[in-house]
Amino acid sequence: MTGIRITRRTWLIPAACLSFILFFTVFGERGLLRIYEMRQEKQRIERTVADLRVENQKLRLSIEALHSDRHQLERIARKELGLVRPNEVIYQFPPSGSK
């Protein structure tokens, strides 16, 4: 009888240690699940950075166009700021459907 208990205890202690190590390998602060989450977060951030780079490039091209093309600058000034030239008359019509 005693030999059987020692064998079970001898088997149970390494199994408990292995279970403890396995648990923290998977669920610990630096475990496999955390690594998986961090990789997904990294991929999401990389996609965001790539999108922002594309947007920055578009904005740079717009800025260059404004610096080099006076007509483009004038169109934007007229449209967004409502600027007019001297002696220029602007006609404003009410939106269609309003009385």
In the chain, where are the structural domains located?
7-80
Provide the whole-model pTM. 0.55
CA distance 39 to 95: 52
CA distances from 26 to 18, 33, 37, 67 (A): 12, 6, 12, 56
3-state secondary structure of 99: coil
List the pLDDT tens digit at each of the 99 positions of the chain. 555 666 777 788 888 888 888 887 877 888 888 899 999 999 999 999 999 999 999 999 988 988 888 888 888 888 888 888 888 887 888 888 766
DSSP designation for 66: H
